[in-house]
């Protein structure tokens, strides 16, 4: 089997080196993730190091940013000015950093909010839908959706069924808001919130947030690996001889 340093590779060599099937390598070329391969007189594809590096970059990016964004970034490396491709990669890092920040705030909030004592509750301490929505920075329709899902259920007052949130229900809404921001799914919260209201199963919440943390770390590591491969692809394309031009010319 040829290595990364091999000047000429077959489809099967790229497939083995990148961990794909032969058909997947052809699909990646068709999608523009790999630059067009040179063809021999007999019609066989001939690949170079730039193709293998591109496949490896895509593989890592698919883990870190998802396959759609991964294709977009690698295609940009081949087709656009370098600055445009790097801007797309920077945007992925920025989104991941924002997600990491949201997760950190969710961890802090859950620990603080779930242990808040709810005492001396008075009618004047309750909040309406619009008040609570403004306090949380969400739309009133979001609170109504949480109510329908049984996540943060307010009291109904008056014959018109006006929603009013007691301090305990405001706390529920704050927990839901933080967990949703951290990526917690509605169906998981639907199971969790009834026990969480009683102060139980905090270990489940902590475990779920830890899993989310591990996912972010894995995606961040994948982006680091992808950046190294993308840098190699850019260097090959910019080389005076060889690289992308040499790999694709006929």
- pLDDT, mean over the chain: 84
Contact 236, 242 (CB under 8 A): yes
Asked whether the predicted pLDDT for residue 244 surpasses 70, the reply is no
Asked whether the predicted pLDDT for residue 74 surpasses 90, the reply is yes
Task: Give dist(CA 135, CA 95) in Å, integer.
Answer: 24
In 3D space, the residue among 43, 42, 37 whose CA is nearest the CA of residue 55 turns out to be: 37
Asked whether the predicted pLDDT for residue 198 surpasses 80, the reply is no
What does the pLDDT look like over 44-69, one tens digit per residue?
899 999 999 999 999 999 999 999 99
Contact 155, 169 (CB under 8 A): yes
What domains can you pick out in the chain, each with its CATH number? Answer: 11-94+220-238 (1.10.1660.10), 96-213 (1.10.1660.10)
Asked whether the predicted pLDDT for residue 243 surpasses 60, the reply is no
Q: What percent of the chain has pLDDT over 70?
A: 82
Alpha carbon of residue 187 to chain centroid: 19
* Average of per-residue pLDDT across 178-195: 78
pTM of the full structure: 0.68
Among the residue ranges 9-13, 111-115, 165-169, the one predicted with the least confidence is 111-115
At 115, is the pLDDT very low, low, confident or very high (cuts 50, 70, 90)? Answer: low
- The residue among 16 and 245 whose pLDDT is bigger is 16
């Amino acid at each position: 089997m040829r290595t990364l340093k091999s000047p000429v590779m077959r489809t099967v060599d790229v497939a083995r080196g990148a961990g794909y099937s032969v058909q997947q390598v052809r699909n990646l070329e068709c999608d523009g993730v790999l630059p067009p391969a040179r063809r021999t007189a007999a019609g066989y594809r001939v690949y170079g190091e730039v193709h293998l590096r591109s496949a490896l970059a895509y593989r890592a990016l698919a883990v870190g940013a998802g396959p759609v964004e991964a294709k977009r970034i690698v295609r940009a490396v081949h087709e656009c000015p370098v600055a445009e491709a790097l801007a797309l990669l920077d945007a992925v890092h920025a989104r991941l950093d924002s997600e990491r920040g949201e997760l950190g705030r969710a961890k802090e909030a859950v620990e603080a909010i779930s242990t808040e004592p709810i005492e001396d509750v008075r009618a004047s301490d309750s909040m309406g839908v619009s008040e609570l929505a403004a306090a949380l920075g969400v739309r009133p329709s979001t609170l109504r959706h949480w109510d329908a899902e049984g996540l943060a259920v307010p009291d109904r007052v008056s014959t018109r069924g006006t929603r009013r949130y007691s301090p305990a229900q405001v706390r529920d809404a704050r927990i839901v808001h933080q967990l949703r921001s951290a990526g917690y799914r509605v169906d998981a919260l639907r199971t969790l919130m009834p026990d969480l209201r009683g102060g139980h199963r905090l270990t489940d919440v902590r475990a779920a947030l830890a899993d989310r943390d591990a996912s972010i770390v894995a995606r961040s590591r994948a982006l680091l690996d992808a950046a190294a491969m993308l840098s190699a692809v850019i260097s090959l394309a910019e080389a005076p001889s060889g690289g992308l031009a040499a790999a694709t010319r006929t």
